[in-house]
Amino acid sequence: MSVALDLNAAILKAMSSVPECVGAGYIDVASGLVLGSRLVDSLPADIVDLLAAAVAEMFQGPNVIAVESFIKKLRGIETSHHFFQEITVHSDNMLHIFMRGRKNQDYVLALVCRKTVNFGLALAKARAALPIVEVAI
């Protein structure tokens, strides 16, 4: 079985484990590429690419890197570790959960749930789903 098939199956499994999840993607924020994605609703492919670019900016945009560098310098820390690990965005109709990979910090799992989801449950399930996706790549 190819990596792409394994990754898509893992993304689908992650989606099914997170309540009210309608879409998910695994994004390489270093390159801005979508490694894999699944959507319940049919949306144009352009939206997935735009989401990948936005996620890359949220986690590794120049201002985020500047803040991390400043804090590292202030604390006397020399590490390539990123401070931003999880970001949640609450839009009008959706909850967006973005989690940086534990194995590869350049990879981010993005999950989109309906706004009616229980936030704590969705976050706990998303955290449990991250390793499922990580082992597929």
Buried b (16+ CB within 10 A) or exposed e, 58-78: bbbeeebeeebeeeeeeeeee
Q: CA-CA distance, 62 to 59, in Å (whole number)?
A: 9
pTM of the model: 0.90
| pLDDT tier, 47 (very low <50, low <70, confident <90, very high otherwise) | confident
Of residues 99, 77, 97, the one with CA closest to residue 29: 99
Q: CA-CA distance, 96 to 89, in Å (whole number)?
A: 5
Q: CA-CA distance, 115 to 95, in Å (whole number)?
A: 5
pLDDT for residue 41: 76
Q: What is the mean pLDDT of the chain?
A: 92
Architecture label for domain 3-134: 2-Layer Sandwich (3.30)
Q: CA-CA distance, 99 to 107, in Å (whole number)?
A: 8
Q: CA-CA distance, 37 to 137, in Å (whole number)?
A: 13
Helix (H) or strand (E) holding 38: strand 33-39
Q: pLDDT tens digit string along 13-37? A: 999 999 999 999 999 999 989 999 9
CB-CB neighbours of 42 under 10 Å: 5
